[in-house]
């Protein structure tokens, strides 16, 4: 079993109506990835889609994937492509459920956003993931 140190939250940086299949096709056909970008993706309606088992290494954050799990919500940008926290209420609940379940399995893992890693120059997930998680613990 892998040692999990990081629970990483992402946004897809797509419109909220993007389909999981089109995101997966982009990874496969454009980026030439053999594995998923995330373990879990959350659709706008809150539907949680499992893309990879926890035991799999995904392509979430270059150089930090061997000890991380990745979850993403579909969305995260405005009409001009700028970062925007546009999680639906259903996505917020689903994201909380995913992170809560992972924290129970990996209690010492840190909750981070993609942007919180060194050398990352993205706004992803378009909100402060650590502060969001901490705010839910009080």
Model pTM?
Answer: 0.96
Could you give the domains of the chain? 6-135 (3.40.80.10)
- Across residues 71-96, what is the average pLDDT? 96
- Across residues 10-34, what is the average pLDDT? 94
pLDDT at 86 over 90: yes
Angle at 63 between CA 37 and CA 130, to 5 degrees: 75
pLDDT at 138 over 80: no
Nearby residues of 21 by Cβ (< 8 Å), 6 or more positions away: none
% of the chain with per-residue pLDDT over 70:
99
Q: What is the pLDDT of residue 26?
A: 94
Answer whether 74's CB lies under 8 Å from 117's CB. Answer: no
**Residue 105 region by backbone torsions, left for phi larger than 0, else alpha for psi between -120 and 50, else beta:** alpha
Q: What is the pLDDT of residue 137?
A: 85
Among the listed residues 94, 96, 100, the one whose alpha carbon sits nearest the alpha carbon of residue 45: 94
Q: Quick one: DSSP state of residue 114?
A: G
The set of catalytic residues is 10, 38, 114, 122, 124
Q: What is the pLDDT of residue 119?
A: 87
- Across residues 77-93, what is the average pLDDT? 95
Answer whether 74's CB lies under 8 Å from 9's CB. Answer: no
* C-alpha distances out from residue 21 to 29, 43, 110, Å: 12, 11, 29
Q: What is the mean pLDDT of the chain?
A: 95
% of the chain with per-residue pLDDT over 90:
95
Q: What is the pLDDT of residue 28?
A: 93
């Amino acid at each position: 079993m892998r040692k999990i140190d990081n629970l990483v939250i992402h946004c897809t940086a797509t419109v909220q109506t993007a389909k999981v299949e089109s995101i997966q096709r982009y990874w496969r056909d454009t980026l030439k990835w053999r594995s998923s970008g995330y373990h879990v993706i959350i659709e706008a309606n809150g539907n949680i889609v499992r893309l990879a088992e926890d035991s799999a290494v995904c392509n979430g954050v270059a150089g930090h994937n061997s000890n991380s799990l990745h979850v993403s919500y579909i969305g995260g940008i405005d009409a001009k492509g700028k970062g925007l926290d546009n999680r639906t209420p259903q996505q917020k609940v689903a994201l909380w459920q995913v992170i809560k379940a992972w924290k129970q399995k990996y209690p010492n893992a840190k909750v981070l956003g993609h942007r919180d890693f060194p050398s990352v120059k993205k706004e992803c997930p378009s909100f402060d993931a650590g502060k969001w998680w901490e705010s839910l613990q009080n």
